[in-house]
Structure 1
Amino acid sequence: MRKDTKRQRQAKLLRIFRKIHRVTGAALFMFFFFIAITGLLLGWKKHSGGVILSKSYQGTSTELKDWLPIDSLNSLANSYLLKTISSNLSTDIDRIDIRKDKGMVKFIYADHLWGLQLDGATGKLLHVDRRYSDLIENIHDGSILDTYLGTSDNQIKVFYTTVMGIALLVFTITGFWLWYGPKRMRRNNGAT
């Protein structure tokens, strides 16, 4: 009788794990779909032939002593942005990516997806691009909702990544048990 009770407990536990796995999967299907697709795209961004991530262009000098001051490069980048793209765009900088080995500086803006590459020494505009990799990353981590809704401290991103991280952990545990549980039950039945 004792072994039968143990088998019933194992079967009940297996049914609970199956239900948790199924409900979590159904509830979060679209989120997992977006994470999978955007994760694949981010993994391939450097190998997309410039579609997702633009190539880095070469400037004239890799010697920092030859370069214009950062504030001058910033002014030039903002001027190029407003003249070549739209005079209505924000010039708030998200980050400045200095590529000394390329002799080039990338200016990435905070409020839109445009980026510019300037020659560090001459300030000449090397390339203007839409930063699709940033858009894909924002979808991947949920921060696109923070941008869209104007939240102050990435609360949606933190909540989203917490829920999805816990869900992945739940999937891993329940999925393992759905694989291992029946094997264990068969092994225990063989021992009787």
Structure 2
Amino acid sequence: MSTNRQQQARVLRTFRKVHRWTGAALFILFFLISISGLLLGWKKNSGGYILADTEKGSSTDLSKWVSFDSLETQAVFYLHQEVDSTLSGEIDRFDVRPDKGTVKIRFKDHYWGVQLDGATGKLLTVERRRSDFIESLHDGSVIDNLEIIPGGYFKLFYTSLTGLALLTFTVTGFWLWYGPKRMRRLNH
């Protein structure tokens, strides 16, 4: 066997080992990412289970809408009345849908939200924000949300690790496919 062929075979064996050990070590993370990614891809087609359908309000004319502080008061009231009076009423964001006459309000410390009519402040729906939970699993922020590691560093570590692992799989997987073809072509 020529030295060149031996080197190529050694490189292939190394790539195979890296590919196998990386896959084995990160199996659970890749499993979570793939399942959560599939669910996120299907969220708008889940019949309202993963992501609640956006309801229609009574007016799309923004000049007829109530103020944001009134919407905030109404959102917290409905959260406490319809779900649990002990839940935090701290709001994470307002998702304004002028074309639907609706405001979706997401709370900061849990996965509940409400949809209100922008013109009246009346409750349109209470939603369990499953898609937000799935997204936080997908990007690793679920750990940051628990504040186990302060500063949001877990998500940075998690996305860096999984991104670099995916890059490693791409390179080693390509070489495991292409390397033997190249060796056969060079030997003929």
Under a length normalisation based on structure 2, what TM-score does the superposition of the two structures give?
0.98
- Aligned residue identity for 1:111: D
1:173 positional shift: 0.1
Q: Cα offset for 1:151?
A: 3.7
In 2, the alpha carbon distance for the partners of 1:149 and 1:117 equals 28
The residue that corresponds to 1:188 in the other structure is: 186
Mapped pair 1:141 → 2:139: yes
Q: Secondary structure at the match of 2:166?
A: helix
1:1-192 map, 5 Å: 4-190=2-188
Amino acid corresponding to residue 58 of structure 1 in structure 2: K
Structure 2: which 5+ residue stretches go unaligned?
A: none
Closer, same or farther in 2 for the Cα pair 1:59/1:113, shift >3 Å?
same
Displacement over 6 Å in runs of 4+: none
Residue 186 of structure 1 aligns to a residue whose secondary structure is helix
* Offset, 1:171: 0.2
**1:29, distance to aligned residue in structure 2 (A):** 0.6
Tell me the CA shift for residue 152 of structure 1: 3.4
**1:109-140 superposed Cα distances (whole Å, 9 cap, x missing partner):** 01000000000001100000100000100111
Give distance in 1, aligned partners of 2:130 and 2:174. Answer: 36
In 2, Cα distance between equivalents of 1:63 and 1:157:
40
CA distance in 2, matches of 1:79, 1:139: 29
SS at match of 2:73: helix
Alignment size in residue pairs: 188
| AA at the equivalent of 2:141 | S
> Deviation of residue 150 (structure 1)?
4.3
